Amino acid sequence: MQPCDSCPCVWGILLSLCLLTSTVAAGADHECTHASDKSLVKTTHVYKTVGDVKIEADVYRPEGAEKRPLVVWIHGGALIVGSRTHVPNQILELCTRERFILASLDYRLAPEVKLPEIVGDIQDAFRWLHADGPMLLGADPQRVVVAGGSAGGFLTMLSGAIVKPRPTALVAYWGYGDIDGEWTRAKSTHHGTPIPHAEALAAVGKRILTNTNDPAEGKARGGYYRYLRQTGAWSLGVTGIDAAKEPGRLDVFCPVKQITSDYPPLLMIHGTEDTDVPYACSADMARELTRHGVKHELLSIPGAEHGLRDGDPRNVAEANLRALEFIREQLTKN
């Protein structure tokens, strides 16, 4: 599936999982691959059922391992597209090498459900991991790093405030700490040619989805996302709450407004020229983390777009290697 030539951000949204896989692979090719590794045993689990909708997690673990540290991956896609089936290759390689367990989560997608329900899915996924993880998966619930990209980075940062017990640490790739900022309601000029209202709405609303493994469906829903950004309706479309008319209603869902002194250590990677998720989102998080005395790192990639596209490959490689080392440090420290 190729992005539309007139809209570079489709590359960042429809193929964001591919971009993340390739950029985390520190300059590898741009082929998007499904997560697999012969040295890890993959199992799929239903962690939650809502009506007839089953929400799943893929778990990759060393065969026979018990009480191993856990990495939780949350996919991106503007809360509208994406799938648990795509995991960055180097995170898989790190888990293989260090014998960590990796859990990759699906969650119900907007706009058929709204952010409060999505957040509930993430909370329930962690409840499942803590309750069933030790016996079923051999996971150590006391050593958990959460990581994710874009919207997954947002949910990763939010997990630091809403998941109990708190994760050991967090890694957010080009994420955002707010979902009520002006950028979420502004009419974007960076999201391609106008999408007709009827075309945008035709792509959604048919049924509740937990992933977009169907490429055609993902492309159509990517068009819906573009429409929301073009019209300044993205935050309302995915949250169901008009932040401009109801100030403060979304505060509980904004990580930047939920930081306390016991928030987990956080590493962020962000391109300075990101036209999809502004670099300021990560800079604002860093500022608040500093104010509360929370350990953090912000790795800025000069000139890079969303997904670190157009960034200097050496800078991208160094940042992603540091992220992997951060995960290892956090899960192996005494």
Which pLDDT tens digit goes with each residue over 141-176? 999 999 999 999 999 999 999 999 999 999 999 999
Res 311: pLDDT: 97
What percent of the chain stands above pLDDT 90? 85
DSSP designation for 248: T
Q: Is residue 213 part of a domain?
A: yes
**pLDDT above 80 (res 329):** yes
**pLDDT above 60 (res 42):** yes
pLDDT band at 20 (very low <50, low <70, confident <90, very high): low
Q: Is residue 201 part of a domain?
A: yes
Res 22: pLDDT: 46
Determine the average pLDDT of the residues in 224-242.
97
**pLDDT above 90 (res 297):** yes
Q: How far apart are CA 123 and CA 158, in angstroms?
A: 10
Domain count, the chain: 1
Q: How far is CA 75 from the centre of its chain?
A: 4
Give the pair of three-digit tokens for residue 281. 């989102």
pLDDT band at 209 (very low <50, low <70, confident <90, very high): very high
Res 65: pLDDT: 63
Q: Is residue 86 part of a domain?
A: yes
Q: pTM for the full model?
A: 0.91
Q: Is residue 3 part of a domain?
A: no
Question: For residue 328, what is the enclosing H or E element?
Answer: helix 313-332
Determine the average pLDDT of the residues in 227-246.
96
- Bridge partner list, 128: none
**pLDDT above 70 (res 226):** yes
Q: Is residue 185 part of a domain?
A: yes
The residue segments making up the domain with residue 76 are 8-332
Each residue of 299-328: pLDDT tens digit? 999 999 999 999 999 999 999 999 999 999
Look over the chain and give the mean of its residue pLDDT values, rounded to a whole number: 90
**pLDDT above 50 (res 10):** no
Q: How far apart are CA 243 and CA 179, in angstroms?
A: 9
Q: Is residue 1 part of a domain?
A: no
Residue 192 half-sphere exposure, CB side, CA atoms within 13 Å? 20
Q: Is residue 18 part of a domain?
A: yes
**pLDDT above 50 (res 289):** yes
Which residues lie closer than 8 Å to 157 by C-beta, 6 or more apart? 170, 172, 175, 176, 177, 255, 266, 285
CATH of the domain at 75: 3.40.50.1820
Q: How far apart are CA 42 and CA 22, in angstroms?
A: 21
